[in-house]
Amino acid sequence: MTKEIINSRKQEVPLQDDNSNVFLQVMVCIAVFLFGVTLAGVLSVNAMLNAWNESILGALTVQIMPVVENNQDAARAETLRQQSKALEILNEWPGVEKAVPLSDKQLNRLIQPWLGDGVDVSDLPTPRLIDVKVKKGMQINFMKLAEKLSKDVPLASLDDHKVWLDKLIRFADSLRLLAMVVLVLVVVVTSGAIFYCTQTSLGLHRQVIEILHLMGAKDTYVAQQYARKTSFLGLMGGVYGLVLAIPTIFMIAGLAKQIEGGIVSETTLSLADWGIIFSLPLFSSLMAMITAYYTVKHTLVKFM
């Protein structure tokens, strides 16, 4: 059907004069804009999830809670002693490639979004963190390690980032669901608009269509003219929607970057993701074409 429609160039039904053309383009523009932005959101969360998954897989964090007492120097010394003990256990643990404590500078950078610049963590009872890298292909007995640490280093706790990851997965799932809802709504509303605009147009051009029928035109001949025109409108509406969606995606990405504050890694869309987003006008064009084609075929049965 698509090939026939593209090859056919005759346009006896004067569809270019229809008032509904602008309305259809605006509808498709809004649809593609909404779906484009939502899709970009889903794809970037997926990308973020993958990046997290890769960095988290094979990494653990051990947290040493600070010792609190009046003598700050003694408390700090005890905290560091516990950190050394934990490092000792970790570096000897089977499967651990290396365990490295985060420096004061790194800790400062982590708490900077909350406490601002110019705060020295060494003056505060902040937890110490140890970054543990697991050997490639090795698995650590997480339960046993946690047990050993809690026994020998009571202030230590082990975090395998699962909680964070689970939350992110739940967020990504919700976003995917939202995208599906948006997609369904967008398709239903746009198809509905195309259906009613096409029916109105058929009524408007009834005399021309009857002449075509009298000359021996099949319903398909008329349907192809509608499909071709509506496909073009769908394409143009889609391009306008995309032109609006792209700066919006960059704007949202910029805002997200500001609020990330180093908690999550920066998200970027891959070339393939952009490929999907840029193909949306083609999708809208195809959808418009199919809807118009079958609307005409369905409606012309009531004609001469």
Partner 1 sequence: MIKNVSDVDMIIGMQNVGIRYGQGAEVLSDINLDLKRGSFHFLTGKSGAGKTSLLSMMYLSQKASRGIVKIFGRNVTYADRDSLALLRRKIGVVFQDFRLLEHMSSFDNVALPLRVCGMDEKEVRKRVTELLQWVELDKKIKEPASTLSGGEKQRVAIARAVINRPEILLADEPTGNVDSDIAYKLMKLFVELNKLGTTVVIATHSEKLITDFAYPRLHLENKGLKIYRPVRDIHLAQGDDR
Residues making contact with partner 1 (CB under 8 A): 10, 12, 14, 207-208, 210-219, 221, 300-301, 304
- Closest separation between CB of residue 41 and partner 1, Å? 46
Q: How far apart are CA 205 and CA 199, in angstroms?
A: 10
- Closest separation between CB of residue 24 and partner 1, Å? 21
Amino acid present at 124: L
- Closest separation between CB of residue 217 and partner 1, Å? 5
- Closest to 194 (Cα-Cα) out of 303, 284, 304, 301: 284
- Quote the strand ranges of 48-114, DSSP E: 59-64, 96-101
Instruction: Report the residue number, 30 or 217, with the smaller CB distance to partner 1.
Output: 217
Amino acid present at 38: T
Instruction: Report the residue number, 10 or 170, with the smaller CB distance to partner 1.
Output: 10
Dihedral angle of Cα 249, 253, 256, 261, to the nearest 10 degrees: 180
CA 153 → CA 32, 79, 121, 126, distances in Å? 56, 10, 22, 17
Q: How far apart are CA 99 and CA 95, in angstroms?
A: 11
Structure tokens at 14: 């004067």
Instruction: Report the residue number, 212 or 236, with the smaller CB distance to partner 1.
Output: 212
Strand partners, 158: 62
Instruction: Report the residue number, 219 or 273, with the smaller CB distance to partner 1.
Output: 219
Instruction: Report the residue number, 215 or 272, with the smaller CB distance to partner 1.
Output: 215
Structure tokens at 38: 């939502």
- Closest separation between CB of residue 203 and partner 1, Å? 17
Q: How far apart are CA 37 and CA 220, in angstroms?
A: 36
Instruction: Report the residue number, 33 or 226, with the smaller CB distance to partner 1.
Output: 226
Instruction: Report the residue number, 130 or 212, with the smaller CB distance to partner 1.
Output: 212
- Closest separation between CB of residue 269 and partner 1, Å? 46
Residue 131 DSSP symbol:
E
- Closest separation between CB of residue 264 and partner 1, Å? 59
Structure tokens at 171: 């967020």
Instruction: Report the residue number, 85 or 213, with the smaller CB distance to partner 1.
Output: 213
- Closest separation between CB of residue 223 and partner 1, Å? 12
Whether residue 44 contacts residue 267, with contact meaning beta carbons closer than 8 Å, is answered with yes
Among positive and negative, which fits the CA dihedral 177, 185, 286, 238? negative
Among positive and negative, which fits the CA dihedral 289, 291, 297, 299? negative
- Closest separation between CB of residue 4 and partner 1, Å? 10
Residue 27, C-beta contacts closer than 8 angstroms, at least 6 positions apart:
189, 190, 193, 194, 237
